[in-house]
Amino acid sequence: MNNQKFGIVGFPWDGGASLGRPGARFAPKAIREAFSWFSNRIDDNKVYDVEKRKTFSLLENGIEDFGDINIAAYSTEKTFENAENKIKGLVGENIFPFVLGGDHSVSYPIIKALHDCAEGNIGIIQFDAHLDLVDDSPIQGKFSQSSQMRRALELPGVKPEHIVQIGVRSYNYPWYEAYLKESGIVQITAREVHQSTPQAVVEQALTALQGVDKIYLTFDIDVLDPAYAPGAGANEPGGLTPVQCMSMLEQLYTVVDVFDIAEVNPLYDHHDVTTAFAARIMFDCAVARLSQ
């Protein structure tokens, strides 16, 4: 892992924001700008972590920006095909893709790319307020921000018991009760996270994913309480705190194979606080993966 380049990829797409607020297409640019606030602290391939009281030496030239997915505004299918091909290329070159969405529909082609590059089953850890398991609807279709997990389950190497959803909450459609009981998807609700510890939550997640070949991590910014993430695609009260999320994520950075951040919406952000948190996650991940 220490020889693996950290590859930043933008996915400026919000064509799947059929119910949530559009505007996430502007997030990759904004997150990159906020990321420079943190990367500016790197000096001679070293950076000091104040909270850990430790200086980390990083892989030289370990971070590379591979630009954005080619967007075909007229076609979700073509855009997703472009994304799939780009991520397959990076994975094939032993580059760790860190993907900046975009609404949450962007996860599906990236999951499919990892799936097709894997020899066995893949596991998915999803930080999210919402379940994103809608099959189809007249308003949203089949490839919206509400359907990427349902589409992922259609891939032969994705089993429902290998999907772990963390931070889900609030209310949803009545059909979900029977579907979730039958499917076996692992859910750790926001309230359960609050009543547990970050370490215990991650242990539960990784236990569920024992035996998978690859792990995909997706972080919907609305897993945070709206107080911490005003610039999100939707507001769901009762969410997680930044410290809870960072504590869980730092246990996952070095064990996952692809990471995406979704639903950051600069059009609704307040003084870039949501964007800054997304950039902090990206920097934390880069330091964890590139430390020598």
Domain enclosing residue 149, as ranges: 5-290
User: What pLDDT, on a 0 to 100 scale, did the predictor assign at position 37?
Assistant: 96
Amino acid letter, residue 58: L
Instruction: Check if the beta carbon of residue 38 is closer than 8 Å to that of residue 251.
Output: no
Residue 202: which residues within 8 A CB-CB, separation 6 or more?
A: 248, 251, 252
Taking the CB of residue 228, how many other CB atoms lie within 10 A of it? 18
Dihedral through CA 185, CA 191, CA 197, CA 200, nearest 10?
-20
User: What pLDDT, on a 0 to 100 scale, did the predictor assign at position 79?
Assistant: 97
Distance CA 50, CA 24 (A): 31
Does 213 show up as a binding residue in the annotation?
Answer: no
Burial level of 256, CB count in 10 A (0-12/13-18/19+)?
Answer: buried
User: What pLDDT, on a 0 to 100 scale, did the predictor assign at position 25?
Assistant: 97
Does 104 show up as a binding residue in the annotation?
Answer: yes
User: What pLDDT, on a 0 to 100 scale, did the predictor assign at position 96?
Assistant: 98
Does 65 show up as a binding residue in the annotation?
Answer: no
Does 222 show up as a binding residue in the annotation?
Answer: yes
Count how many domains the chain has: 1
**Residue closest to 245 by CA, chosen among 216, 274, 215:** 274
Instruction: Check if the beta carbon of residue 78 is closer than 8 Å to that of residue 18.
Output: no
Does 130 show up as a binding residue in the annotation?
Answer: yes
272's torsion region: left (phi>0), alpha (psi -120 to 50) or beta? left
Q: Quick one: how many helices (H) and strands (E) in the chain?
A: 9, 10
Instruction: Check if the beta carbon of residue 246 is closer than 8 Å to that of residue 155.
Output: no
Does 103 show up as a binding residue in the annotation?
Answer: no
Amino acid letter, residue 125: I
Dihedral sign for Cα atoms in the order 215, 6, 60, 277: negative
CATH of the domain at 103: 3.40.800.10
Per-residue pLDDT of the chain (292 residues; tens, 9 = 90+): 556 999 999 999 999 898 888 999 999 999 999 999 999 999 999 999 999 999 999 999 999 999 999 999 999 999 999 999 999 999 999 999 999 999 999 999 999 999 999 999 999 999 999 999 989 877 777 878 888 999 999 999 999 999 999 999 999 999 999 999 999 999 999 999 999 999 999 999 999 999 999 999 999 999 999 999 999 999 999 999 999 999 999 999 999 999 999 999 999 999 999 999 999 999 999 999 999 6
